[in-house]
Amino acid sequence: MDSPRTLNRLGGVLEYFKRRKFGIVRALRVGEAYMLSKGSLYVDVWAPTKDYVKYHDYDKLVKGLELDRVHALVIVSYRPYTIMDYLKRLMDAAERWYGVSSKVRMIGVSEADVERGVEDAVERLHTYFAELISRPAASGEECPRCMGGNLQRYQFDDYFSQKLYGVARQYVYICEKCGLRISRQELLLAPKGSS
């Protein structure tokens, strides 16, 4: 059974993901985690009820959170980086001892500032996995790092940004040659009375 604190916290996070065009695929067995998708990207959003991890076995972690089916894991907690560090050590030990590697990218969201943290998490998901979510368009710009590749531009939906205090749009530029990724937010509409 989910605690009221977890439901309130996770409900707001899921609502934000829905506004950013992510769909809920299913609730996972853990009861405090959901699998979401956008395009071909699959993400687990996990809000553990405790500030420590109950998983001590890599296989149970993968089965409980279905990490073999997702590209990223978003952890919403009071101390997300402590949990991420523990999970990373568990994954490293599994790779070292059993040769099992995990390609799951972990993103932490602190409960202290959930609204901005979830906004950052979605922007990072767009940056890391732009090819799975959106189609590229030629930007006509040259890569600033290798000076030889063309930048492909990926455009994402408009949203109200808590950081920019207005309606914004995110663009991700990826170099075809060297793989450089650049994320830009463009402020489209600022609230009235702001300058």
Task: Give the mean pLDDT of 57-63.
Answer: 89
Beta pairing class for 166-175 and 33-38? unpaired
Residue 38 near residue 66 (C-beta atoms within 8 A): no
Q: How confident is the model over 87-99, as pLDDT tens digits?
A: 999 999 999 998 8
Domain boundaries in the chain? Answer: 4-125, 136-189
pLDDT band at 8 (very low <50, low <70, confident <90, very high): low
pLDDT over 70 (residue 114): yes
Find the mean pLDDT for residues 159-188: 93
pLDDT of residue 2: 41
Calpha distance 162→28 (Å, rounded): 29
- The answer for 66, left when phi > 0, alpha when psi is -120 to 50, beta otherwise, is left
Residue with tokens 């390609």: 103
- Residue 162 has what pLDDT? 87
What pLDDT was estimated at residue 30?
Answer: 52
Residues 153/136, Cβ–Cβ less than 8 Å: yes
What global pTM score does this model have?
Answer: 0.89
Q: How confident is the model at residue 29 (pLDDT cuts 50, 70, 90)?
A: low
Higher per-residue confidence, 182 vs 29: 182
Q: Which residues contact 170 (CB under 8 A, 6 or more apart)?
A: 123, 126, 155, 156, 159, 183, 184, 185, 186
Mean confidence (pLDDT) of the chain: 89
